[in-house]
Structures are given as structure tokens and as C-alpha cells.
Homo-oligomer: A and B are copies of this chain.
Amino acid sequence: MKKIAVFPGSFDPITKGHLDIIKRAVPLFDEIIIGIGVNSDKKTLFTISQRKVWIEQVISQFNTIRVADYQGLTVDFCKSVEANYIIRGLRNSSDFEFEKSIAQMNADLADNIETIFLVARPELSHIASTLVRDIIRNGGDTKAFLPDGINLKTLQ
């Protein structure tokens, strides 16, 4: 059976931390779909299309990765793309407790979908999307946090 995995998130924007997890997951799966979860109640900093452009740009060298957006439950999206794995990165123990509950509840919803965790590399383990957005909003320098080639200046 083909091993297809979804890496879900809001990627608002994609960080060096996300990208590292994705790259390390490549050898494990036949196909990885980066799933941008769209939640109409939650205000994001960047539009879906902008987030997609950046993701496509940083994964362009990998022919087994593609990006898609979805609404609704992650397990339903997995079914729609025939994925049997979910990939998640773990940075610290707060992350862990939250991700643990989600993975366990997802297993109740769809017991044939397995969640696979990778631990962030130490040098990227402090990069939190919330804080990155805060830095962006205040005009701070994001080069330590965003993948090379993502240029916020050309955007504005």
C-alpha cells in the first residue's frame, strides 16, 4: 500500500521549523501533502494563496510533496486524499500534551490513520508561529525563523 501522509497546520507563515520536519519526513513516505487547515473563525496574518505560494517555493525541489488547503476535520481531509498517516512536529512539553490529545482523539475518529511525531532539531525548537507573527507585525527581522527565500519585504 502506498504510504501517504498529511502534514496539517495553518502555516501562517511556514517556518524553518515546519520545513525541517517536512524534509526529514520525505524518506518515510511515498507522498506528503502539506494541508493548510482553513478555519473561517480564526483570523490569519496571510491569505491562503500567499501561504501556498511560500510553501510551494520551499518544497519545489521535492517531487513527492504537494500542498493543498482544506476545511473541516483533519481526519476527513486525510480520507479524501487517501492518506493513512499524519505527521506532526514536537518542540516542547506544552506542544506535546496538546498534540497527544489530538492524535489520540483522531485515532478514535479514524483508527486506520496513524500520527507520526518528529522532534524539532534543537536549533529550531524555539520557533513558535505565534511569536513569529508577532515579530512580523512589529517589523522585526525574521531571517532566523523563516526559510531562505521567503521575503516578506517583496510582499508589501
Q: Which residues on B sit within 8 Å (CB–CB) of A115?
A: 118-119
A149 CB within 8 Å of chain B: no
The answer for the CA separation of A45 and B141 in the assembled complex, in Å, is 31
Q: Contact: B139 with A126, CB < 8 Å?
A: no
Q: Which residues on B sit within 8 Å (CB–CB) of A91?
A: 101
Q: Contact: A125 with B125, CB < 8 Å?
A: yes
Q: Which residues on B sit within 8 Å (CB–CB) of A138?
A: 72-73, 76
Q: Contact: A144 with B108, CB < 8 Å?
A: yes
Q: Which of A6-14, A46-54, A55-63, A127-135 contacts B (4 or more CB under 8 A)?
A: A127-135
Q: Which residues on B sit within 8 Å (CB–CB) of A96?
A: 90, 93, 96
A104 CB within 8 Å of chain B: yes
The answer for the CA separation of A100 and B128 in the assembled complex, in Å, is 11
Query: A84-107 toward B: CB 8 Å interface, digit per residue (1/0)?
Result: 110000111110111111111101
28 residue pairs from A and B, CB less than 8 Å apart: A1-B27, A3-B28, A27-B84, A27-B114, A28-B28, A28-B85, A72-B138, A72-B139, A73-B135, A73-B138, A76-B140, A90-B100, A92-B93, A92-B97, A93-B96, A93-B97, A94-B97, A99-B119, A101-B126, A101-B128, A101-B131, A104-B126, A105-B144, A107-B121, A108-B145, A109-B140, A117-B117, A122-B123
Interface on A for B, CB 8 Å cutoff?
Answer: 1, 3, 24, 27-28, 72-73, 75-76, 84-85, 90-94, 96-105, 107-109, 114-119, 121-128, 131-132, 134-135, 138-141, 144-145
